[in-house]
Structure 1
Amino acid sequence: MANRRWIRTAALLAIPTLLSSCASLGSSGPSGKSIRSVKTENAGITLVDLNEQVARQIVQNRQPQTFAQVFGDPMTNRYLIGRGDVLDIAIWEAPPAALFGSLSAGSALAATTPSVPSTSRSADIPQQMVDGTGQISVPFAGSITAAGRTPKQVAQDIVARLRGKAHDPQVIVRIASNQAANVTVVGEVNKSGLMPLTAKGERLLDAIASVGGVKQPVNKMTIQLSRNGIVASQPLANVISSPAENIPLQANDVVTALYQPYSFQALGAFNINAEVDFEATGLTLAQALGRIGGLQDNRADIKGVFIFRLEDPATLGGIVTPATRMTPDGKVPVIYRVDMSNPATFFVAQGFRIQNKDILYVSNAPLVDIQKFVSVISAMAFSIVSIGNAAN
């Protein structure tokens, strides 16, 4: 009897401990209640209920810039001479040539007989390489700035220098060897390399074709273009389908082909917890839920689905207030709350786009914690009974 009383006393003493510790039962993350309390406890984090109005506002405010918008008017993308290029220069004089031409018997006769036509050619000028300072040297014209200019502009400069020295000089300048105007193509392509630019005006798809195309399916590829410190990206499928996105290239452009560069993380009571890659053409919330197998029926709180995102303030519009906390790079920490018990949410999920580095999280249903507590109590009760039986 003494043993039984001791066991009952131990059990009664253990119950308060279990009750006080029920809040710390095992879980895969914060509860839906604790996340919802962020709105009142910490005004620095924005909590937004995802509905049709919010989804529509995000779509309207999120206007991704295209290559044509970022890199300007294609008419400015002229082929320019660069350092290291080799130029072929031809200079002609009208008769009677005085500086570069030489009088032949016919031209001597023409000097005294106007009815006899005469011709004169330019002297042979060696090909000129543009030096490190961007200059070339032309006889009787001196040093000419060539780098950063078109062949036509260089020819006009030479003519201006020779005027008064040569008789009606005519100059033709062409690039004999292109050493400076190249585009670098790297990434998921069949053969990375340099593509020389010509006066034709090579475009973005020309660069991809010059290296044998991409290794992966087109709809899973993103093209990143870097120019003068500016970086922009577009799905390759968009560049192919929209001629305006197939922009002319400039010297020193870097074209990078990226395979599925975007991903989101699924955590909590989903059927799959993992980092999931998705293609460049984008992914909706409905598609994301499908790829991770949806919610766990026996664990998930259908009113506790959340999307954690660092959002652009312009996308949120009037939701942003002076109290809203900003990250060092100017982003807003946002938690979108999704109520999957509302049938209308499924239509919203078909249009709401998942962004790179989003975190999808679903909390446990409140009943799950109760079930865990009951399981602990049951295990303890059976243990006490077993101890009691052994004591008898």
Structure 2
Amino acid sequence: MLREANSSTPTFEVVPVTRANMPMVASWPRTGWENDFGWPGTSNGSNVNVIQTGDKVDIVIWDSQENSLITSATEKAAPLSGVEVGANGAVFVPYVGQVYIRGMSPDEARGKIQSELVQIAPSAQVQLSLTQGRANSVELVGGVDAPGAFPMPSRNYKVLGLIADGGGILPTLRNPRVRLIRGGTTYETSADSLLANGERNALLMPGDTVIIQQDNHSFTALGAAGSEDLVYFPKDNLSAMEAVTLMGGLQDSRADPKGVLVLREYPVRALRSDGSAPSMQQVVFTFDLTSTDGLFAAKQFRINPSDTVYATESPIPAASSVLSLVGTTFGITRQAQNLDN
């Protein structure tokens, strides 16, 4: 390993991880997480609905005036049922024409229609009820007991309220993740983080889609450990020490606790030469679990999706064997990632 690190033309970067350099390593770009948009914070909206195109309103016009243009002598109420709000934001009211009500609350729309009727029916009174259309609803897809489209009960409808209306997150999902699709942007967080932090209870907007799925992020476990396999993340923040535990621990008869490796590949755009980021795409982080410093560093180091955690065997015959082992492992990792995708 030292031979590769000191080579004039190294093929990968070797970083022994200690408590001293953990702040630097922790500041390097994270890898393996597809979403870079974070998650919107919470806010408060209006506790009333706002009428949108595609909504339907039921209008009842009451007029007791004799010789009314709207009502008859025997029926003092004229119902207009299921009137759809058009693309121009208006509804048609007889003897009045187009009345623009998009963007209004139901009470504001009722007042607007009533004021438009004053010239032909000064004593008329209006009742209005709203049935929301798809443009005034949000969708909850998968991961709950009752997914579907949900009309927004108000403009103060939030993610946790939507999930509750859908019956709650299924308990069988592994580390469930919540995605919020808004226009062309996808936000993502874990369900644990959403439930633990009220600041993440994002305010929904009409047309939002919320998707709940189990987490399929994984790392590859190889070498002298309890298992060699893809290991799925049970939570978002997973330390190197926890990863070793999930691998089944180090095998006493084979593993070298001074040679636990984490192999990671960075995109070219993440590379830097000033230490603020890796200088090469392929990086091998090394841990010495026989020292207190190494143990604490392993507890602080975060495993990223698509990492490979390799428990080397003891004793290591030569540096050339390690170089061969690491090169082969990077190839195995790519194959595993391709199969997983």
Tell me the number of residue pairs that the alignment of Structure 1 and Structure 2 aligns. 312
Residue 4 of structure 2 is aligned to residue 48 of structure 1: no
Give the corresponding residue for 2:55.
85
After superposition, residues 115-194 of structure 1 pair within 5 angstroms as: 124-131=79-86, 134-146=89-101, 150-151=105-106, 154=109, 158=113, 167=122, 173-194=128-149
Give the corresponding residue for 1:309.
264
Identify if the C-alpha distance between structure 1 residues 207 and 48 changes in structure 2 by more than 3 Å, giving closer, same or farther.
same
Distance 1:342 1:33 in 2: 19
74-83 or 291-300, which moves further after superposition?
A: 74-83
- Unmatched 5+ residue regions in structure 1? 1-31, 105-120, 326-331, 373-392
- Unmatched 5+ residue regions in structure 2? 31-35, 322-341
C-alpha contact (below 8 Å) 2:40/2:187 kept by paired residues: no
Residue 253 of structure 2 is aligned to residue 283 of structure 1: no
Quote how far apart the aligned CAs of 1:123 are. Answer: 5.0
242-251 or 297-306, which moves further after superposition?
A: 297-306
TM-score (norm 2): 0.69
TM-score (norm 1): 0.61
C-alpha contact (below 8 Å) 1:97/1:167 kept by paired residues: no
1:231-271, Cα deviation, whole Å (9 max, x unpaired): 22222222223222223323332222222432111123333
Distance 2:224 2:217 in 1: 23
Give the corresponding residue for 2:159.
204
Residue 298 of structure 2 is aligned to residue 349 of structure 1: yes
1:281-306, Cα deviation, whole Å (9 max, x unpaired): 53221111012123344544544432
Report the residue type matching 2:45 in the other structure: M
Residue 195 of structure 2 is aligned to residue 240 of structure 1: yes
Identity of aligned residues (%): 24
226-235 or 358-367, which moves further after superposition?
A: 358-367
Give the corresponding residue for 2:210.
255
The structure carrying a bigger helix percent of its residues is 1
Compute the RMSD of aligned alpha carbons: 4.5
C-alpha contact (below 8 Å) 1:36/1:47 kept by paired residues: yes
C-alpha contact (below 8 Å) 1:48/1:335 kept by paired residues: yes
Identify if the C-alpha distance between structure 1 residues 191 and 176 changes in structure 2 by more than 3 Å, giving closer, same or farther.
closer
Give the corresponding residue for 2:327.
none
The structure carrying a bigger strand percent of its residues is 2
Report the residue type matching 2:246 in the other structure: R
After superposition, residues 286-365 of structure 1 pair within 5 angstroms as: 286-310=241-265, 319-320=275-276, 324=279, 333-365=282-314
Bigger Rg, structure 1 or 2: 1
C-alpha contact (below 8 Å) 1:269/1:295 kept by paired residues: yes
Quote how far apart the aligned CAs of 1:275 are. Answer: 0.4
Identify if the C-alpha distance between structure 1 residues 96 and 194 changes in structure 2 by more than 3 Å, giving closer, same or farther.
closer
Report the residue type matching 2:275 in the other structure: I
